[in-house]
Amino acid sequence: MGKYIVRRLLQMIPVVLGSTFLIYAMVFAMPGDPTAGKCGERACPPAYVKEFREKYNLDDPLPVQYGKYMGNVLQGDLGENQYGIPVAEDLRDRFGVTGKLASMALVFQSVVGILAGILAGLRKGGFIDNLVIVSTLFVISIPIFVSGFVLQYFFGLELGWFPVLVGADATFYRLLLPAMVLGSLSLAYIARLMRTNIAENLGSDYVRTAKAKGLSNRRIIGIHTLRNSLIPVITFLGYDFGALLGGSIVTEGIFNILGVGGYVFTSIGNRDGIAVVGAVTVLVLVYLIVNLIVDLLYGVLDPRISHD
Amino acid sequence: MTERNQTPHDANPDERLEHDDAPLHDNKPGEGGELPTESHEKQTPTSSSAAIAADDTGTARSLTADAWRSLRKNPLFWISSVLIVGLLAIAIFPGLFTDQNPDYGDLGRARIDPNSTHWFGTDRQGYDVYTRTIYGARASILVGVLGATGTLLLGSFLGLVAGYLGGWVDTLISRIGDIFFAIPLLMAGIILLSATRSMDTLLGVPLQGYFGTIFQLVLVLVLFGWPAIMRLMRSSVIQVKPNDYVQAARALGASPLRIIRRHVMPNALAPAIVVTTINLGVYISVEATLSFLGIGLVPPAISWGVMINDSLVFLRSGTTLHALFFPALFLSICVLAFIMLGDAVRDAFDPKSRDR
């Protein structure tokens, strides 16, 4: 197990370095002018351009620039947004809200998705199975920003069940509808994955053995089948966390949630490149860390993985 | 079957195999006449002659022919195909479906509810929503198709190279793939597109105008989509390469190109096609999301994402709900069709899921 953790950590290093370099290169090494649009309609005065280039080390060779940038990121310095406020400071206040929203969505999608998947998989071809298959197909094909606005319109504006916008006071109740919207897409995938796994495992040899031993149905499904079927779902949750964070940009924009995603959303609208890149870099880093944790967890859950 | 019986026997090995087993099941003519694969197994214990013949066809029929047989029995495949053909027709010949000008806005007719002249109503700028929905299909589908094709080509090429050459080339390509794979598509799109916004040209391609904006989106999708296909292709090559028949072909002096074409591609193509079909749906959805965020396609380009973005501004007044509804409906149907097709193709190629 220890060996496995060390190996995974070592494998992680080049990916983190590479992907942050890629993000940096996309923003600062592109042939465009990074100060374009910063001074309104006019071109920026040379003094400003000079200061900007100096501040972000744009006259150094690219690897040096990147090294300095990463050094700053590691010290918690993500540059300043167009109002001169450090991006890291902005993000610090917003992380709690996004964390809350993401974990609510995560709980919602895993609980409902796994339950729906179990019910569908136990009776393949039955009514619930068909219902799950058809409804998940619809959920998958409707983009999250459409479903977000539609639900906001009906439940928030027409019926008044939920607040239309979340705003500064992000309570559990206020985040409920956004969290369901955010979790809906992954919910559909989880339900489908769980359904396939359950159905596949029910036909496997160990289930037949358990039946032959005379175990109760409850034990066969509750202990044996369920545990084995959950492993791929957990891997999926890790892989899908990126989509969840990406979705939070859209959801937080729609419901005016003052989290990291909402920050990216407004910064795109303001054409504030530094703020966008800083926030997205942080989101990618969070995604990589979550993936690493899931990978390690996977080694614990499935002993076959860590012993090779 | 009747059409195929007239084709010459040496046309295609797959077709010929279908002919050979045709007399066996000739008592049931027509499209649905072929017995499903499961019934071959049921026959085995009962009649020995039929069992031998059935076993022969079962093993000799190629995967593609097998997949096609189960595919055309799947209603999902036909529903999604009809939808896709319809949407493609709209995208290629929008003029056939409407004689209006999508760029003609008249504030005098703004925010009209759907009626007999304006089927889908008009939006707040007085644009006819139906006309724009029809013309919007082109950009959305173009981005999806070009993005998915580009991803398939780049991913397959790199996967073949990595798997075939092995060694440090493989390590290099795989690690670069890991890096691109680690950045979620939407976030990559946001970063790259916010950088290209201030640029006039990229790789010699002008970024302004209709094709410029489409090019940027396709670039993002290909650049961050290829690792999935690359991994598929690479593992297929690595699986196939040590086989005796490949070694024999190589010993006989077959060029790498020929080995890849004759022995690797047939094995690797199925999963790649499945992923590409699903990618089509996903990419169209990503385009709409990026356009909704305001950094994908921008007016004057018309796409469903752009229309949805336009209509949202005044949504809360509740007067132009139809301007949101119809492009969203078309977008969802389009994504649905491609994802359904991907599901059907995957089921056809995956024997495990075929026993439903």
- Residue B166 in domain: yes
Residue B66 lies in a domain: no
User: Quick check: is B69 in a domain?
Assistant: no
**In angstroms, what separates the C-alpha of A29 from chain B's closest C-alpha?**
10
Q: At a CB cut-off of 8 Å and minimum separation 6, what does B20 contact?
A: B57
> Do both B200 and B158 map to the same domain?
yes
Specify whether B121 is located in the same domain as B53.
Answer: no
* SS3 track for A155-203: HHHHCCCCCCCCECCCCHHHHHHHHHHHHHHHHHHHHHHHHHHHHHHHC
HSE-up of B192 (CA within 13 Å, CB side)?
A: 24
Token pair in block for residue A296: 């390690």
The residues spanned by each domain of chain A are: 2-74, 89-301
Give the chain A residue whose CA is nearest to the CA of B195. Answer: A27
- Distance between start and end Cα atoms, chain B: 25
Provide the sign of the torsion angle of the four alpha carbons B331, B332, B336, B337, taken in this order: negative
CATH number of the domain bearing residue B142: 1.10.3720.10
Across the interface, whether the CB atoms of B182 and A15 are under 8 A apart is answered yes
The closest CB to that of B194, out of A15, A246, A268, belongs to A268
Answer yes or no: do B93 and B176 share one domain: yes
∠ Cα B304 B307 B311 (to 5°): 140
- If asked whether residues B129 and B272 sit together in one domain, one would say yes
> How many CB contacts within 8 angstroms connect chain A with chain B?
146
To test the contact with chain B by mutation, choose from A144, A145, A201 the residue with the greatest count of B C-beta atoms within 10 A, namely A145
Q: First-to-last CA distance in chain A?
A: 10
Token pair 């189960």 is found at B70
Measured distance CA(A75)–CA(A58) in Å, rounded: 19
CA A115 – CA A56 distance, rounded (Å): 50
Residues in CB range of A268: below 8 A, 6 or more apart: A276, B190, B194, B293, B294, B295
The residue segments making up the domain with residue B194 are 75-353
In the stretch 250-309 of chain B, residues with CB closer than 8 A to chain A read: 281, 285, 288-289, 292-295, 308
Domain boundary among B20, B35, B61: B61
- Element (DSSP H or E) covering residue A22: helix A2-28
Is B10 in the same domain as B118?
Answer: no
Q: Decide if B184 and A276 are in contact by the 8 Å CB cutoff.
A: no
State whether B286 and B170 are in the same domain: yes
DSSP B82: H
Which residues are within 8 A (CB) of A218 and not within 5 positions of it... i.e. 6 or more apart? Answer: none
Are B32 and B165 in the same domain?
no
Residue A131, number of CB atoms within 10 A of its CB: 13
Residue with tokens 């999926």: A236
What is the domain count for chain B? 2
Do B54 and B86 reside in the same domain of the chain?
no
Q: Are residues B114 and B217 in the same domain?
A: yes
pLDDT of B152? 93
3-state DSSP assignment of residue A86: strand
**Which pLDDT score is estimated for B48?**
43
List the beta bridge partners of residue B2: none
Residue B317 falls inside a structural domain: yes
Looking at residue A50, its amino acid is K
Reduced DSSP (H G I as helix, E B as strand, rest coil) percent helix, strand, coil of chain B, to 5: 75, 0, 25
Interatomic CA distance for residues A190 and A108, integer angstroms = 11
Q: Is residue B67 situated within a structural domain?
A: no
Contacts of A16 (CB under 8 A, 6+ apart): A285, A288, B182
Q: Does one domain contain both B251 and B308?
A: yes
CA distance B249 to B267: 16
H/E element holding A69? helix A62-74
Q: Indicate whether B245 belongs to any domain.
A: yes
Is residue B179 assigned to a domain? yes
Among A residues 144-183, those touching chain B with beta carbons less than 8 Å apart: 144-146, 149-150, 153, 157, 164
Q: Quick check: A158 and A206 in contact, CB under 8 A? A: no
Are residues B103 and B125 located together in one domain of the fold? yes
Which CATH code is given to the segment(s) A89-301? Answer: 1.10.3720.10
Packed helices A62-74 and A2-28: angle between N→C axes, nearest 10 degrees: 120
Would B70 be classed as within a structural domain? no
Chain B, window 192-211: residues with a beta carbon less than 8 angstroms from a chain A beta carbon: 192, 194-199, 202
Contact across the interface for B179 and A15, Cβ inside 8 Å:
yes
* Residue A297: predicted pLDDT: 79
The answer to whether A39 contacts chain B (CB < 8 Å) is no
pLDDT at B205: 67
Per-residue confidence in pLDDT tens, chain B, 356 aa: 333 333 333 333 443 333 333 333 333 333 333 334 333 433 434 444 444 444 444 455 666 777 788 788 888 889 889 999 988 888 888 777 777 777 776 776 666 677 776 667 777 776 777 888 888 888 889 999 999 999 999 999 999 889 888 889 998 998 899 889 888 888 888 888 877 776 666 666 666 767 778 888 899 999 999 998 998 888 888 888 888 888 888 888 888 888 888 877 777 777 888 888 888 888 988 888 888 888 877 777 788 888 887 777 665 555 577 777 888 888 888 888 888 888 888 878 776 555 44
Question: Phi-psi bin for A165: left (phi > 0), alpha (psi -120 to 50), beta?
Answer: beta
- Which residue has 């493609």 as its token pair? B88
Instruction: Report the distance separating Cα B303 and Cα B14, nearest Å.
Output: 41
Note the pTM of the prediction, 2 decimals: 0.79
Best residue in B194, B290, B298 for a mutation probing chain A (most A CBs within 10 Å):
B194
Residues B19 and B159 in one domain: no
3-state helix/strand/coil string of A108-163: HHHHHHHHHHHHHHHCCCCHHHHHHHHHHHHHHHCCHHHHHHHHHHHHHHHCCCCC
- The reply to whether residue B182 touches residue A277, judged by beta carbons under 8 angstroms, is no
Task: Using alpha carbons only, give the angle B163, B165, B167 rounded to the nearest 5 degrees.
Answer: 95
pLDDT for the residue B213: 81
Report the complex ipTM: 0.82
The count of residues in chain B is 356
Task: Characterize the bridge pairing of strands B205-206 and B201-202.
Answer: antiparallel
Nearest to B222 by CA among B190, B172, B188, B174: B188
pLDDT tens string for chain A (308 positions)? 677 778 878 888 888 888 888 888 877 766 556 666 666 666 777 887 787 777 777 777 778 888 887 888 788 777 777 777 888 888 888 888 888 899 999 999 999 999 999 888 888 778 888 888 888 888 888 888 888 888 888 888 778 788 877 777 777 888 888 999 999 888 998 998 898 888 888 888 888 888 888 888 888 888 888 888 888 888 888 888 888 888 888 888 888 888 888 888 888 777 777 788 788 888 888 888 888 888 787 777 777 765 55
Both tokens of residue A151?
A: 């639900």
